[in-house]
């Protein structure tokens, strides 16, 4: 028994000694390994610090507003110019002291608040390590404030037009087409028709900035954005009577109506070459209209309205009866069709051709094609003169404005404002509900009258010609695209 106990004790002592020896041997090895790890970590930290020290922040050269002054409620695009010396990917965070920002990236749109003042729009440009901020100040002025006046060589009788880049185009009565810088009203270029033929209709601007005009009732021209002639006069249309300004369609066609022969021609936007089209119909009664999705609406001499979708043939077109129509129809965003008959009744059809509501009788002679507002309401200009507004949902209508001398059909702004010219020379903006927003913004002596309906840019600027050879630009409200 004693021998067993003694043996057990000796075994424990040996095991303890062995464990102690091993334990005593470990600290040196562990310390050596930890030292190596510490050295590696220190080297890694040093490399990271060196890399951070070498990283260069983005270089932001400028934050620029396309229009440093806008209307309260007006729109301008703003862009930042920045680069990263290290080639890092940059991110952009925009902010403003007031107003609304639309879009992301290096360029955005800014909608000014409804109160006049000076506001800052800032952009923080970051490479993920070092953000750099810059800002630009923009002044918002009361809508209707005069921006600039441009003086032409002769009287301007036609409405101006606005290109996709904001350039303003106006034609005087001696065959000159002017391109005007929207920022300051300076002349960019002038194009003159052959023989100084007078332009018959307001210019039409394509999505690529090409300007299409008709002169002497027989000649169609295309003018490049730089003022050089693209083509023209087109040799396709016979020398009869072009009765409308060119109609552009997303299919690449320029549609011209010969009102004497009741023939429709389609020209290639690039070359001006083309041919007669829709020849299977019994003559064309009205200029075609482009609707949602590029659908083309064509009215024949039997008062049938054909809606031809892109890539669709005439044989597959939908047909709506439009009896006694006198003006081109108006097409709603949902494809509804609005037209007048006998110059007194406003009609509405659903896209399938069924009646949307009973005809609305104006009791006044309708003097222009219907105009569709931003909210879908239909505006009717009468010879009284008066402007009526008709609900696109119910067909009920009423007088829209208290102005007594409206001279032209209403023009709808990007924010839904309804622009009216009160004869002879006052411009007003009204809300879709009929409340006055601002006005009058009129011509200045020696001018006495506004010569046509205005044109409105996507940014809200309003342009109109006066009877003293000038184009006026006034600030107006807009909406984020």
Confidence check: pLDDT of 47 > 90: no
Confidence check: pLDDT of 427 > 50: yes
In a domain, 23, yes or no: yes
Determine what percent of the chain is predicted with pLDDT higher than 90. 83
Report how many domains make up the chain.
2
The domain boundary residue, chosen from 105, 126, 141? 141
Quote the pLDDT of residue 235. 81
Residue 105 gets which letter from DSSP?
Answer: T
**Ordered DSSP codes for 156-222:** --S--EE-TTS-EEEE-TTSEEEEE-TTT--EEEEEE-GGGPPB-S--EE-TTS-EEEEETTTEEEE
**Same domain, yes or no: 28 and 74:** no
For 40, the 3-state DSSP assignment is helix
Contact indicator for 409, 384 with CB cutoff of 8 Å: no
In total, the chain counts a number of residues equal to 481
**Same domain, yes or no: 20 and 71:** no
Provide the token pair at 401. 């404005």
Question: Across the chain, what does the average pLDDT equal?
Answer: 90
CA atoms within 13 A on the CB side of 330: 19
Distance CA(386)–CA(381), nearest Å, equals: 6
What are the helix (H) ranges across 328-381? none
Exposure string of 224-262, with b = 16+ CB inside 10 Å and e = fewer, is ebeeeebbbbbebbeeeebbbbbbbbeeebbbbbbbeeb
Band of residue 54 on the pLDDT scale cut at 50, 70, 90: confident
The structure tokens 């009102």 sit at: 259
In a domain, 107, yes or no: yes
Averaged over 411-431, what is the pLDDT?
97
Quote the pLDDT of residue 251. 82
Quote the pLDDT of residue 7. 40
Distance CA(132)–CA(288), nearest Å, equals: 53
In a domain, 7, yes or no: yes
In a domain, 378, yes or no: no
Rg, C-alpha atoms of the chain: 35
**Same domain, yes or no: 41 and 81:** no
CA atoms within 13 A on the CB side of 10: 6
Residues 452, 458, 461, CA angle at the centre, nearest 5°? 55
Structural domain span for residue 133? 59-141
**Same domain, yes or no: 63 and 137:** yes
Averaged over 107-127, what is the pLDDT?
97
pLDDT digits (tens, 9 = 90+) for 141-169: 999 999 999 999 999 999 999 999 999 99
**Same domain, yes or no: 22 and 71:** no
In a domain, 8, yes or no: yes
- CATH code for position 128: 2.60.40.10
**Same domain, yes or no: 34 and 82:** no
Distance CA(151)–CA(31), nearest Å, equals: 89
For 427, the 3-state DSSP assignment is strand
CA 218 to chain centre: 31
**Same domain, yes or no: 122 and 64:** yes
**Same domain, yes or no: 2 and 23:** yes
Contact indicator for 421, 427 with CB cutoff of 8 Å: yes
Cis peptide bond prior to 424, omega within 30° of 0:
yes
Confidence check: pLDDT of 50 > 80: no
**Same domain, yes or no: 72 and 136:** yes
**Same domain, yes or no: 89 and 30:** no
Band of residue 20 on the pLDDT scale cut at 50, 70, 90: very low
Quote the pLDDT of residue 361. 96
In a domain, 75, yes or no: yes
In a domain, 118, yes or no: yes
pLDDT digits (tens, 9 = 90+) for 279-302: 999 999 999 999 999 999 999 999
Band of residue 9 on the pLDDT scale cut at 50, 70, 90: very low
Contact indicator for 234, 226 with CB cutoff of 8 Å: no
3-state helix, strand, coil in the chain (%, to 5): 15, 40, 45
Bridging pattern class, strands 371-372 and 355-361: unpaired
φ, ψ dihedrals at 461, nearest 5°: -65, 145
The domain boundary residue, chosen from 12, 37, 53? 53
Distance CA(230)–CA(379), nearest Å, equals: 36
Distance CA(257)–CA(244), nearest Å, equals: 6
**Same domain, yes or no: 11 and 40:** yes
Averaged over 111-121, what is the pLDDT?
98
Distance CA(410)–CA(429), nearest Å, equals: 10
In a domain, 83, yes or no: yes
Q: State whether the Cα torsion 247-249-252-253 is positive or negative.
A: negative
Residue 26 gets which letter from DSSP?
Answer: H
List Cβ neighbours of 127 (8 Å cut-off, separation of 6 or more). Answer: 55, 57, 58, 84, 86, 88, 89, 90
**Same domain, yes or no: 84 and 130:** yes
For 69, the 3-state DSSP assignment is strand
């Amino acid at each position: 028994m004693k021998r067993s106990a003694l043996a057990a004790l000796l075994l424990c002592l040996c095991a303890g000694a062995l464990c102690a020896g091993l334990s005593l041997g470990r600290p040196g090895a562990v310390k050596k390994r930890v030292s190596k790890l510490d050295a590696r970590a220190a080297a890694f930290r040093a490399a990271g610090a060196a890399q951070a020290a070498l990283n260069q922040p983005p270089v932001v050269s400028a934050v620029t507003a396309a229009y440093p002054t806008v209307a309260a409620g007006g729109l301008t695009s703003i862009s930042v110019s920045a680069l990263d010396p290290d080639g890092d990917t940059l991110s952009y965070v925009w902010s403003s002291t007031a107003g609304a920002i639309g879009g992301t990236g290096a360029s955005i749109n800014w909608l000014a608040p409804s109160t006049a003042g000076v506001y800052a729009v800032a952009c923080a440009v970051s490479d993920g390590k070092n953000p750099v901020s810059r800002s630009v100040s923009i002044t918002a002025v009361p809508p209707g404030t005069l921006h600039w006046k441009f003086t032409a060589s002769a009287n301007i009788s036609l409405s101006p037009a606005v290109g996709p880049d904001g350039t303003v185009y106006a034609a005087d009565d001696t065959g000159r087409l002017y391109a005007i810088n929207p920022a300051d009203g300076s002349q960019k270029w002038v194009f003159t028709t052959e023989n100084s033929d007078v332009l018959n209709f307001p210019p039409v601007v394509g999505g690529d900035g090409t300007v299409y005009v008709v002169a002497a009732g027989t000649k169609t021209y295309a003018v490049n954005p730089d003022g050089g002639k693209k083509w023209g006069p087109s040799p396709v249309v016979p020398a009869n009577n072009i009765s409308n300004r060119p109609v552009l369609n997303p299919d690449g066609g320029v549609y011209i109506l010969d009102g004497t022969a009741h023939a429709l021609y389609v020209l290639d936007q690039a070359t001006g070459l083309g041919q007669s089209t829709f020849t299977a119909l019994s003559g064309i009664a009205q200029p075609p209209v482009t609707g949602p999705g590029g659908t083309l609406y064509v009215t024949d001499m039997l008062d049938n309205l054909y809606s031809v979708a892109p890539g669709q043939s005439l044989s597959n077109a939908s047909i709506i009866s439009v009896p006694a129509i006198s003006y081109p129809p108006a097409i709603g965003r949902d494809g509804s069709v609005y037209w007048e008959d006998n110059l007194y009744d406003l009609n509405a059809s659903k896209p399938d051709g069924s009646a949307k509501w009973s005809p609305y009788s104006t009791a006044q002679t309708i003097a222009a094609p219907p105009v569709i507002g931003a909210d879908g309401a239909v505006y009717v200009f009468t010879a009284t003169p008066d402007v009526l507004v008709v609900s696109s949902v119910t067909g009920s209508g009423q007088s829209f404005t208290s102005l007594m001398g409206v001279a032209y059909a209403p023009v709808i702004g990007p924010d839904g404002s309804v622009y009216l010219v009160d004869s002879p020379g006052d411009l007003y903006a009204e809300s879709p509900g009929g409340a006055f927003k601002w006005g009058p913004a009129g011509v200045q002596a020696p001018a006495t009258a506004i010569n046509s309906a205005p044109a409105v840019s996507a940014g809200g600027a309003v342009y109109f010609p006066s009877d003293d050879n000038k184009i006026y630009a006034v600030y107006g409200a807009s909406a984020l695209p």
